[in-house]
Amino acid sequence: MDGFDSRTGVIIIAATNRPEILDPALLRPGRFDRQVLIDKPDLEGRLAILKIHTKQIKMGDDVDLRKIAQSAAGLAGADLANIANEAALMAVRQDRKVVLHEDFEEAIEKSVAGLERKSRLLNDKERERVAYHETGHALTAFMTEGAEPVSKISIVHVDWEPWGIPCSIRLKTDSCSVRMNF
């Protein structure tokens, strides 16, 4: 951005969902004078974004976009667009003409947790230890007032997690539903 005449008015607008990976040279004084942070969408915002990105997708009767929006808490609009596309691709791969709710759930898991790493297999003792560990996270969430309920526990090794991951969704419920994936 050097080389502009200081008397010339130049406005550059940029956007990113990943500010942590920006080159520090971009953020030096005098480069970008203002940074405007925009929060990720709330439930209604996610629902509206999903409606836009699923408008051209044929969905099964079991698809509830509100539940999908609840499951996608903390995701940005681009993530939601990716989830809609990934769910559609999953349906095509299974030779279906409509996208099912399970396709969206799997697409969310893929977006949040990453791809399963088949190169790292757990032996029975490691699998048991990780299952107990992740169950501990679920029990802690269940016993902690105000914590989001756990909807699923996975001990599948994914890109960014060394072992497993407890997944929470924002639902108002008095019970904790846990499904173990082995």
Which residues participate in catalysis according to the annotation? 134
Query: Would you call 151 helix, strand, or coil by DSSP?
Result: strand
DSSP state of 158: B
CA distance 47 to 4: 43
Maximum separation of any 2 CA atoms in the chain, in Å: 69
CA distance 165 to 52: 30
Helices (DSSP H) in 12-72: which residue ranges?
A: 43-53, 65-71
Q: Give phi and psi for 94, each to the nearest 5.
A: -95, 15
